[in-house]
Structure 1
Amino acid sequence: MKKRMIPLLFTVLVLVLGGCMGPSEGTTFSRSLLKKPWEEVVKQAKGTDIRLYMWGGDESINRYIDEWAAPRLKKQYGVKLERVPVSDTQDIINKLLTEKQAGKNKGTVDLIWINGENFHTAKEQKLLWGAFADRIPNVKRYVNRETPDIRLDFGEETQGLEVPWGKAQFVFIYDRNKVKNPPKSMAELKEWVRNHPGKFTYPAPPDFTGSAFVRQALFETTGGHKQYVRGMEDERFNRKAEKLWAYLNDLEPYLWREGKTYPESLAKLDQLYANGEVWMTMGYDAARAAGEIRKGRFPESTRTFVLDQGTLSNTHYLSIPFNAPNPAGAMVATHFLLSPDAQLTKMDPDHWGEDMALDPERLSKEDQARLKNMDRGEAILPSDKLAKHRIPEVPASVVNQLEKGWKSHVAKK
C-alpha cells in the first residue's frame, strides 16, 4: 500500500491545534463495545453497512475484496462491505484530521487499511477508535502479536489500535534466462552491476520501492538493521550513511543510462524490465512477479530472490477511526478478514497472493495442509524461505533521513 506523510504545512497546523484535542464526544458510548461479549457485537453488526477505505491501485486486491470477501461477509454475518478506493492513504488521514478539528463525531469511514507513517500520525493525533485488537476472536486465536514485525509498525508500538491483515516483503525480480546466478548480497549485486553495465537501476526516492532499495543498501553497508530499529539521531546517522552514499555512487556509472537519470516510479522500472532494457526489477510484494507473469507483462522466465542477510518486511493493518459510524460492523469485518479461510484465500496468487498475518502453527491441521499444498507458482519463493529472510522495517524518521540524504549525496552528484 502507499504510504506518504501528509504535507508539512498541514501537519504543523494540526500539531499546534492537536494539543487542545481530547477524545471526541460521541465516541465514549461506542467504545463500550470493547467491554461487551463478542456475541453482542455480532448481533449489533447484523444488518448494517460498513465502508472500508483503502488504496485502490491493484486490480487483484480490489477483486478479492469485491468478489470474494464482501459477498461472504454479507452471507455469514449480515454485514455489507463497501470498498472505498483512495489513491494514497494519507488522503484518509487528512480527512480524519479535518473532521477531528471540526468536531465531527460521526464520520463516514468505518475501517482503514493503514500502516507506517500514516499509523504514526493517526496514533499521535488520536484519530483511532481504541485498542480493539484483543476483542477480535480470530486475532486472539491465530495471530502471534508478540513478534516484532507485528507488534511494531515501522518501529511504532501498535498497542492494539490496529489489527495485522497481511505481510509484505521486499524481493528482487529477475529473468533467469539472462541472470544465471542472482546476487546473494549487496556486495555481489555491486559486482554484478559492474559486469553488466546498463542492465540494472532502481526508482528514485522518495518513490516507495526506491526508498526501500536504499534502506537495503544502508543495512548491508553499515553493519545491519538492528541499530536503526529505534531510530538514530542525525549526527550519528550521517556518519554511518557515508558508506551507503559511497556504495550508491560507485554503482551509478554502471546503471541504466549511466545513472544520469532514474526511473521515477516502480511502474517505470517494471516497464524497462518488461522491455528487456534492464534484467532486474524489484518490489515490496513477494507475489507480484507471479501476478505480472499471469497478466502477460513479465516473461515466463521471471523469478524472485532475496539476500542472504534478509530483506525488508512489514505488516499492514486494519484500524477503526475515532468517529467510525459503525464500529461493531468494523470489528466483525476485521474478525472475518482474519479468519483462516479469508487469509489463505488472500494468499492464493489467483486472488491477492501476499503472505498472511496468521501464525501457521496456530492453524488447524486441515488448514496447515491447505497452506502446505498451495501452488503459488515458481515465481514466488516458498513461504518458509521468505520467513527466514525477513528483517523488520525502521521508523519513519530513518526513512526521512535516507530520502533527504539520497537527494544531497547521490542525486546531486
Structure 2
Amino acid sequence: MILRKIFTSVILSVLVALMAGCTSQGQDQEKSQPSEQTTPLEKSWEEISSTAKGKTVSLYMWGGSDSINRYIDEWVAPRLKEQSGVTLKRVPVNDTKDVINQLLTEKKAGKTNGSVDIIWLNGENFKIAKENQLLFGSIAPKLPNVQDYVAMGAPDLQYDFGIDTEGMEVPWGKAQYVFIYDSKHVAEPPKTIDELKDWIKQNPGKFTYPAPPDFTGSAFLRHVLFETSGGYEDFLKPFDQQIMDEKSQAAWAYLNEIKPDLWRKGETYPESLAKLDLLYSQGEVWMTMGYDAARASNEIKKGTFPESTRTFVLDKGTLANAHYLSISFNSAQPDAAMVAINYLLSPEAQIAKFDPRHWGEDMVLEPSKLSTEEQQQINSIDRGVATLPAEALAKHKIPEIHADYVDYLEKEWKTNVAKD
C-alpha cells in the first residue's frame, strides 16, 4: 500500500512537471511570434513586411489609360517584387462604383476573405465606402513613406471632396482638369464656359463629353455649374437642397442648349473617357478633356493624338484634387497591401510616376522632404510640349465640392439632360 502511494505520487509529480513544461514552452512561443489575432494595424512595420513576403496582392483600378497600366505592370510590379517579395496584380475596372458595389455585396453576405485588396478611389466612392465601413482602417499612420514624405494634415490631402479621410485612404497623386484640343482646328481655345458654348455652335458635331457618372463627364458638369451659377463657393458647404435647386437650373439650360450641336446631336454620349479619346484621335471631335495634365503630351509621343494637340484651362479655373489608395475591409492580404501602397508612395515610385514617359502626374510628396539629388531629378524632367507649365496650372486651380453635390448632379443629369 505504501509503495502504491509513493508510486502514484511520483507519477503525479512527473505529469505536473510535464504540463508546466508544455505551458512554459507555449508561452515562450507566444512571446516569440505575433498572435494570429494581431491585425496589421497592431503590428510593427518589420512584422508587416515579413508577413507580406511571398504574397500576391490585387489592385483594383480604372483601366482606361495604357500609360498608367504600363506604369503599374512594367515599372512598379517588377520593382515591388524584387524589393519586398510582394507580387502586384492589377485588376482593371471601368468604374470604381462597380468595386464598391462588389464590397457592399460581400459585406452583406458576411464574406471575410475577399478578392479586393487595394482600391484606387476618391470622392463619392470614398464617401460610400467610409459610410458603409468597407475600408480596412486607418492605414496612413503605419506607412513609413507616408509619415516621412506626405503632409497628411494639408487640407487638399486630409479632405477628399469635403470628407475627412481619417487615414483610411492614402493620397497617391494630384490631378488637375484640363481641356485638350487640336490646334489645327481650334486656333483660339475658349477661355470660359460661355465661349465654349459659342465654339460648339460654330463647330457642330465636333464636341461632346463622357456621360456621367463617368468621372470626367461628371467633372465637366461641375465646371458648367460653377460658371453658370456664379462660382463654386456655395458648394463647399454641406449639401443644401435649396441651393442646389436654385443654382443648377442655369446649368441644365446650358447643357440642353448645346445638346443639338454635340457629336451625334447629343442623342448619345461616349460612355467613358477612353471612348472620347478615341473619337478625338480619329478626328471625329476636336476636343477631349480629363484630370491628367500631361496625358496629351504622352499621347502625342505614342502617336495616338495628333502632334498639333495642346491643352488649355478656363480663366475662372479648373478642378484640382488628389486621388487615393485604400484597403478593403475584407482584404485577404492586408499586410502585402500595406507594403505595396508604401512602395507606391516611395520617392522612387513617385518620381517615376511624375515622368511623362511613365505617367506624368503630379506627386503627393513634399519636395522639401526629398534629398537634393531627388529634387534635381524632378527638375530635369521634361513634361512634354502639350503640358501647361506648373505655374499656369497652379494659378487656375479650384477645389472639388462636397461629394453629396457630385452624386446629386450625376443623377439629375439623367433626368434633366439625357431624358430623351
Do Structure 1 and Structure 2 share a fold, with TM-score over 0.5? yes
Encode CA deviations 1:273-295: one digit per residue, 9 max, x unaligned.
Answer: 33334322212322221232233
- Return the offset for 1:401: 2.3
1:326-345 to structure 2, matched below 5 A, reads: 326-345=333-352
- Return the offset for 1:378: 0.8
Encode CA deviations 1:84-124: one digit per residue, 9 max, x unaligned.
Answer: 33343233323333332333333333322222222222211
> 2:51 is matched with which residue: 25, 44, 55?
44
> 1:299 is matched with which residue: 297, 300, 306?
306
Contact 1:355–1:383 (Cα < 8 Å) also in 2: no
- Provide the rounded CA distance (Å) in 1 between the counterparts of 2:269 and 2:100: 30
> 1:29 is matched with which residue: 25, 28, 37?
37
- Return the offset for 1:160: 0.4
- Provide the rounded CA distance (Å) in 1 between the counterparts of 2:298 and 2:106: 38
Runs of 5+ unmatched residues, structure 1: 1-26
Encode CA deviations 1:250-291: one digit per residue, 9 max, x unaligned.
Answer: 434544455455444434433443333432221232222123
Q: Percent identity?
A: 61
The one-letter amino acid of 1:325's match is A
In structure 2, the partner of 1:132 is 139
In structure 1, the partner of 2:98 is 91
SS at match of 2:319: strand
In structure 1, the partner of 2:130 is 123
> 1:352 is matched with which residue: 341, 351, 359?
359
- Provide the rounded CA distance (Å) in 1 between the counterparts of 2:349 and 2:203: 43
The one-letter amino acid of 1:179's match is V
- Verify: 1:378 aligned to 2:385, yes or no: yes
Encode CA deviations 1:157-185: one digit per residue, 9 max, x unaligned.
Answer: 11100111112322100112222222222
> 2:404 is matched with which residue: 385, 390, 397?
397
- Provide the rounded CA distance (Å) in 2 between the counterparts of 1:138 and 1:265: 33
- Return the offset for 1:374: 0.6
SS at match of 1:336: helix
Encode CA deviations 1:337-370: one digit per residue, 9 max, x unaligned.
Answer: 1011101111222212222222233322222221
SS at match of 1:183: coil
Cα distance 1:245–1:348, how it changes in 2: closer, same or farther (>3 A)?
same
> 1:216 is matched with which residue: 223, 237, 242?
223
Contact 2:298–2:384 (Cα < 8 Å) also in 1: no
Cα RMSD for the two superposed structures: 2.5
Contact 1:115–1:317 (Cα < 8 Å) also in 2: yes
Cα distance 1:206–1:333, how it changes in 2: closer, same or farther (>3 A)?
closer
Contact 2:103–2:134 (Cα < 8 Å) also in 1: yes
- Provide the rounded CA distance (Å) in 1 between the counterparts of 2:87 and 2:270: 41
Cα distance 1:172–1:119, how it changes in 2: closer, same or farther (>3 A)?
same
Contact 1:231–1:394 (Cα < 8 Å) also in 2: no
The one-letter amino acid of 1:169's match is Q
Cα distance 1:247–1:344, how it changes in 2: closer, same or farther (>3 A)?
same
Contact 1:149–1:313 (Cα < 8 Å) also in 2: no
- Verify: 1:56 aligned to 2:83, yes or no: no
Out of 172-181 and 229-238, give the one that drifted further.
Answer: 229-238
In structure 1, the partner of 2:3 is none
**What is the aligned length?**
386
Encode CA deviations 1:49-81: one digit per residue, 9 max, x unaligned.
Answer: 322233333332222222211121122222222
Contact 1:185–1:307 (Cα < 8 Å) also in 2: yes
> 2:173 is matched with which residue: 158, 162, 166?
166
- Provide the rounded CA distance (Å) in 2 between the counterparts of 1:398 and 1:156: 12
Cα distance 1:277–1:96, how it changes in 2: closer, same or farther (>3 A)?
closer
- Provide the rounded CA distance (Å) in 1 between the counterparts of 2:399 and 2:388: 18
Which has the larger Rg?
Answer: 2
> 1:71 is matched with which residue: 65, 73, 78?
78
- Provide the rounded CA distance (Å) in 1 between the counterparts of 2:394 and 2:120: 23
> 2:277 is matched with which residue: 270, 286, 291?
270
- Return the offset for 1:198: 4.0
- Provide the rounded CA distance (Å) in 2 between the counterparts of 1:363 and 1:84: 31
SS at match of 1:108: coil
Out of 121-130 and 183-192, give the one that drifted further.
Answer: 183-192
- Provide the rounded CA distance (Å) in 2 between the counterparts of 1:274 and 1:126: 41
SS at match of 1:353: coil
Cα distance 1:54–1:194, how it changes in 2: closer, same or farther (>3 A)?
closer
- Provide the rounded CA distance (Å) in 1 between the counterparts of 2:362 and 2:187: 27
SS at match of 2:231: coil
For normalisation by structure 2, the TM-score amounts to 0.83
Contact 1:304–1:379 (Cα < 8 Å) also in 2: yes
- Provide the rounded CA distance (Å) in 1 between the counterparts of 2:387 and 2:117: 33
- Verify: 1:182 aligned to 2:186, yes or no: no
Contact 2:64–2:274 (Cα < 8 Å) also in 1: no
Out of 341-350 and 35-44, give the one that drifted further.
Answer: 35-44
In structure 2, the partner of 1:8 is none
The one-letter amino acid of 1:193's match is I
- Return the offset for 1:213: 1.0
Cα distance 1:142–1:174, how it changes in 2: closer, same or farther (>3 A)?
same
- Provide the rounded CA distance (Å) in 2 between the counterparts of 1:412 and 1:191: 24
In structure 2, the partner of 1:363 is 370
Contact 2:124–2:404 (Cα < 8 Å) also in 1: no
Cα distance 1:132–1:262, how it changes in 2: closer, same or farther (>3 A)?
closer
- Provide the rounded CA distance (Å) in 2 between the counterparts of 1:328 and 1:111: 11
In structure 2, the partner of 1:284 is 291
SS at match of 1:29: coil
- Provide the rounded CA distance (Å) in 2 between the counterparts of 1:363 and 1:372: 12
Cα distance 1:354–1:30, how it changes in 2: closer, same or farther (>3 A)?
farther
